[in-house]
Structure 1
């Protein structure tokens, strides 16, 4: 599997794939890249007019020119440095950069509440990028969506139990994978090599998630 950054040709092929209605997974397969590489590229570089490879490539080159190794943060460093450090940690864990910026902006705001328009203005990103980011955050339980009935707009909120909800959602998704693996094992035959392998994997995941859920429930009171 090739490593390194996406080339201009790679980005042109991504754009062509999107135009043809291909899934991220299929585009990634044709590029011989991880699906996460394609999804992050599209989320990071989509604008009001969609994903445009030329602009995406230029933006990436400009970011690379600006990026320099960050020195260790000293005590009393400004809030901006702390935010960037948290963003980088989130990106390393697999979260798209714009999504991480939106999440940290909400976390660091006084009341943990913002509208999409406010996020767009503060972060200087497109409304489409904010929409992708907040949908990801809501789907994974990091934030919740509230409706402002007076102004007919959504408000995105980070509450004290956001971490609990994100763990619960992740646990449920993993548990579904574990159960699917065990169902496949039963269908293939529990005495077959594949069936035995899937049973072990499913059982392992199920037990780990059970421990994680019990721990989250036990310590949930710390968030109240």
Structure 2
């Protein structure tokens, strides 16, 4: 067969193409000439030979069989038509699912592995924040092994916890998750301080590498000081909840009374109230007033002019 008799390219290499490649290779032709005769890019021929050559070199039958096996391994079962999960509250299930995908994509863009991000997003949009491995696998259409790997990573980052419900294992995201993540971030940052300081000692602080490690240690030490002293990031959401509780009560409450009403330990209540007092920008026009061991929420009237106060009758 001469070059004019060879069909022009279109789609994948055929068994006849592979037979011709094997023949021309035995004849000593180069990849470029074989590609010209087949009307294919040279890269197509070089990849074909590289992928499908065995101990005995390139053989058409073996190449065809190997290509078929790879195609079968890559072939996925038809996608199931999984209905969007209904979360109640009159929400649009499709809008919830679209948000779940968008939320996962944002986490992936910050460096989280895609499957890990999908699991975290799926749990996050669940109102009770509790799903089993089977439920996650069914919802995300992935294998249980994929869920297990993602959960293991999230657990190391304190982003979820495991609980037993009889024979089933459930994965939980609760209201204390931000606090756990923050505490883990503090711990991880402290490890950076330690290892960088050790590197400076080992390398010698007077050397370029040792100076670099010393700078890194000092940088993370400064971050550590901010993280340990600044309770705002940790308790900002709690501060808003405590303010809402005080506003709803309409009268002063003690920390113990708030603790009982919110079902929080008193230390958490006091931290939330401290943030509300010390960082008034968090609550905007509402602030906490403390008197005689009790707290109440009041409007920050200093934001209003005298004319506005007068117009409001106050």
Q: Check whether TM > 0.5.
A: yes
Distance 2:227 2:74 in 1: 41
Aligned match for 1:85, one of 82, 99, 102: 102
Equivalent in the alignment of 1:31: none
Distance 2:71 2:218 in 1: 47
Equivalent in the alignment of 1:196: 211
1:1-224 mapped onto 2 (5 Å cutoff)? 78-148=95-165, 151-215=166-230, 217-224=231-238
Structure 2, unaligned runs of 5 or more: 1-46, 52-69, 77-91, 239-314
Distance 1:198 1:109 in 2: 43
Q: 1:58 to 1:197 in 2, by over 3 A?
A: farther
Do the aligned partners of 1:160 and 1:223 also contact (CA within 8 Å) in 2?
no
Look at both structures and tell me which one has the larger radius of gyration over its CA atoms: 2
Distance 2:110 2:139 in 1: 24
Q: 1:145 to 1:56 in 2, by over 3 A?
A: farther
Distance 2:217 2:126 in 1: 40
Per-residue Cα deviation, 1:3-47 (whole angstroms, up to 9, x for no partner): xxxxx99xx9xxxxxxxxxxxxxxxxxxxxxxxxxxxxxxxxxxx
The number of residues matched between the two structures is 158
Deviation at 1:161, TM superposition (A): 1.9
Do the aligned partners of 1:114 and 1:156 also contact (CA within 8 Å) in 2?
yes
Do the aligned partners of 1:138 and 1:144 also contact (CA within 8 Å) in 2?
yes
With normalisation by structure 1, the TM-score equals: 0.61
- Higher RCO (C-alpha 8 Å, min separation 6): 1
The secondary structure found in structure 2 opposite 1:78 is helix
